[in-house]
Structure 1
Amino acid sequence: MVSLLSGEGAVSGSIPIMATAKFLLQVLDELSRDDLDRFKFYLQNSTEFESIARGLLENKTRVELVDLLQEHFAKQARDISRKILLKIPRRDLVTKMFGEGDTSDSEGRDPEKRKRGKPRDCGTAETASNLSENEMSTPKKNKVETKAVEDKTLMALAETMGHNWKQIGIQFLELKGYVIDQCELKEATVILQSFEMLKNWKNREKEGATALKLYSILANEKCPIGSEQLECLLEDTH
């Protein structure tokens, strides 16, 4: 891969804005639709940096998202993007785009030290052990985020939908009208009808039916459901 960190117009100690934009676009182009949904999720739900409002992220193309990243984070856009990729997790993409030594989620580390590796001293064994545990903890935690949403979570969500479940199913979950009709005929109460509708979505999406994906869909400001009603989905991602 040709590095975008060099070339004419580069200023010593800084990266040209255009080069950064091209680099970020290359990174986003490597993401699947689900990965991009997770990327946006962490942009609007973070304690490490100033989050971006959900309304600003809605329906943004990858090109528009690059502009938003640079406008919102300025020189930190690259580093924040790297951190989010580690949370998705896409460590393989971090290695590919940022380099072998850039898969640490720590801030303020000297790039040269990352290339050289850890110094050999009497504490090397202990340090290596700690690093191994830290590196292994991240993917284990993120495996929970990629599992299919649990039925009990869908039931908790169904209990809050009321008579809006039909609109949500057709307009936002993109279920067919006959599927909605079948849900209504199969169950007697609105809650069970809503749950059946959500189960149909889950069965259609298969392994892609994660709580995070469902959250990203229903968090649309036009969706007739409040953010407090979606909290059960966020709990299912932990």
Structure 2
Amino acid sequence: MATAKFLLQVLDELSQDELERFKFHLQNTIEFKSIATGLLENKTRVELAHLLQKHFAEQALDISKHVLLQIPRHDLVTKMFGKGDMSDSEGRDPEKRKRGRVGDCGTASSLSENEMPTSKKNKVETKVLKDKTLMALAETMGHNWKQIGIQFLELKGYVIDQCELKEATVILQSFEMLKSWRNREKEEATALKLHSILANGKCPIGSEQLECLLEDNP
């Protein structure tokens, strides 16, 4: 039970208000498997430490660190976990390493270029995506754009928040999210790469919605 003991030491460093915000992030997220509100109500710090270990198993420390950075308590992360990789402070998905393995959802490796039907592979644009194409795709995403951005395009949480605050409509928010992905990928932001990521069967977008990625050829 070493993990639970360590987590208790971490939780003991939080004020009551910070503890409530910690619980809030545990139950309001799509970045990892959330904990139901009923399971968190009236939990003591000792009980919460055991719940974190039981619910998240080997990921309990990574996810706890991620939530601490959202509160934010960067100082506590540095104190308890060491400096290490602080990229979680910008919204990194704590399950990113799992999704990065071959066969997991949400990465380009889950559907390689060779697995794409030849007729479509030869049509996919190999240059950096244009605004017109990104807008056409954004118009089809609906309210799934946040999940797509975080889970499949692996954008950081604060980037998604900025997109939502910048624009008032879902379509424009989706467009901003896709532009953020393009800006991050730079010259590698091709239709081929985007198609290979979003064509994964677990992504909440249909193949017909991806046709716009096949139509922007010179």
Q: Which has the larger radius of gyration?
A: 1
Higher-RCO chain (CA-CA 8 Å, sequence separation at least 6): 2
